[in-house]
Structure 1
Amino acid sequence: MKHLLSFILALTISLFSFSQTATRTITKIKGDLYRFQNNGHYSVFLITDEGAIVTDPINKDAATWLKAEIKKRFDLPVKYVIYSHHHDDHVSGGEVFDEAIFVGHTLTKKNIEDKKIPTPVPNETFKTRKLITLGNQYVALIYPGKSHSDDCIAIYFPDEKVVFGVDFISVDRLPYRTLNGAFLPDWIQAIKKVETLDFDTFVPGHGDMGTKTDVKEHREYFEALYNAVKEAKSKGQSLDEMKRSILLEAYKDFSQYDAWREMNIEGVYNFLTKK
């Protein structure tokens, strides 16, 4: 009996450990640009003759794995780490890339310092645009304005015609829950600025990759949501009434429609009520 209990305990621990193993993959997007998955989070990296340009490290374990994979597959050091914004579920673990230059928006630097997020503070910052050149390849960093946070940027790879944007644009998916204290209507204008770029592929920080058309559809969803809540509020509807009447049926096939539609309405309502 004692041996049986020991076996069951060992098996339980083994199964628990297996269930905790992260799903990590690297897939080519185009040319020397790759997408890195860590469970439900994604970042991208560019391989050049002189080293790798990495975006969000995600967390320490993910960054450790990615650094080792880049070394194993390409035998190159990581030269730059670019932060998409300051939220810790994307930028944690940067200390793994201890020889890299860290780059982020000026507000990202301030937010990391103010909130004491455990990751290196950017060595280089910018306010509107910045170009990073390495090994005859380059990446453009563009601040489109406030959106999901006050510091989200678009990371643009012109040669590949790819844009990487985290948390403020999704593909065929509703924005996250109550919009995280969103900046509206600034968010809509930020997406419009991304649409002015010359790109074919959009890579989000969560979910599937898409196209420029998908970015446009996400912006149109936001416009429909914002305008519907604003109009309902002007008519004196309560939040509960809005949740029942604002159906946004044109987007019912989007992922998380059933789970997050009412939360999205609540997020816009909270924003308009605070104004």
Structure 2
Amino acid sequence: MPSMTRRYLRAIRRATKKPVSHLVSTHHHIDHIGGNQFFPRSQIVAHVNCREEMIRFGIPLERLQRFMPKFAQEMADVRLVLPDTVYAGQMTLYQGDRAIELLYMGPAHTPGDTLVYLPKERVLFAGDVAFHYVVPGPFDCHVSAWIRVADRVADLDADVIVPGHGPIGTKKELREMRDYLALVRREARRSYRAGEPAEEAARKLKVGGYYTQWANPERLPMIVERLYMELQGEI
């Protein structure tokens, strides 16, 4: 988002006078690419699927007005800036002796999620593959694939995980998100096999306990809807 990006730029300038040489678009959602235009001299890098989805969706103002109305107005003047460089499986950037690994582990939150891994520092910038203490946003996800990717991320040697949404955490928070998705999948499968429509399944589904404290509980019906699409072979 432009307002967020301006804050990031101010923080970057306080930390360093060096230019931003590279900008990684972790996926195509507008809250993660809507600030690209503010980095005109940076090389923008993304997974090839991310670039294709950016072209496909453009600036989705209708979706923003539905799901993120407070941001819709400021996005009206945003210009779509596509990545200059794309990769398919894995790519490594180097800044001096620092390796910055861009990892693609398959579709998850979107078809083109990039994980940015600093192996020396044992830090992972997970993009929206990780939501910490927030119900995951399911808009373009494949829930079962997302669970598989979360399991693969758990094998990385990372002490710190920076999520796309929520506070900085560790593998503990990632595992909790993964287990939330697995719980909803299990209950949605049961309802689907019983012949219940997705709306009824979502209404009956109770995540209970710890998960009730998470932000954005209104996303649960959308997760169930995506799971029904999986079960029906639509995605």
| TM-score, L = length of structure 2 | 0.80
Which of 87, 91, 95 aligns to 1:126? It is 87
Contact in 1 for aligned 2:143/2:181 (Cα 8 Å): no
Unaligned segments of structure 1, at least 5 residues:
1-57
Q: In structure 1, what is the equivalent of residue 44 of structure 2?
A: 102
Residue 217 to residue 116, structure 1, CA distance change in 2 (3 Å): closer
**Residues of 2 paired with 1:111 and 1:259: CA distance?**
25
| CA displacement, residues 86-113 of structure 1 (integer Å, 9 cap, x when unaligned) | 1122112323222221111111222233
Q: In structure 2, what is the equivalent of residue 89 of structure 1?
A: 31
Residue 251 to residue 144, structure 1, CA distance change in 2 (3 Å): farther
Identical-pair percentage: 24
Structure having the higher strand fraction is: 1
Contact in 2 for aligned 1:169/1:204 (Cα 8 Å): yes
**Residues of 2 paired with 1:203 and 1:233: CA distance?**
34
**Residues of 1 paired with 2:201 and 2:6: CA distance?**
46
Query: Is 1:227 aligned with 2:186?
Result: yes
Aligned length, in residue pairs: 215
Higher relative contact order (CA 8 A, sep 6+): 2
| CA displacement, residues 73-130 of structure 1 (integer Å, 9 cap, x when unaligned) | 4211111111101112211232322222111111122223344453432222111111
Unaligned segments of structure 2, at least 5 residues:
60-78
Between structure 1 and structure 2, the one with the greater Rg is 1
**Residues of 2 paired with 1:228 and 1:267: CA distance?**
13
Residue 123 to residue 261, structure 1, CA distance change in 2 (3 Å): closer
**Residues of 1 paired with 2:229 and 2:143: CA distance?**
11
Residue 200 to residue 246, structure 1, CA distance change in 2 (3 Å): same
| TM-score, L = length of structure 1 | 0.70
Q: In structure 1, what is the equivalent of residue 195 of structure 2?
A: 236
**Residues of 2 paired with 1:76 and 1:257: CA distance?**
37
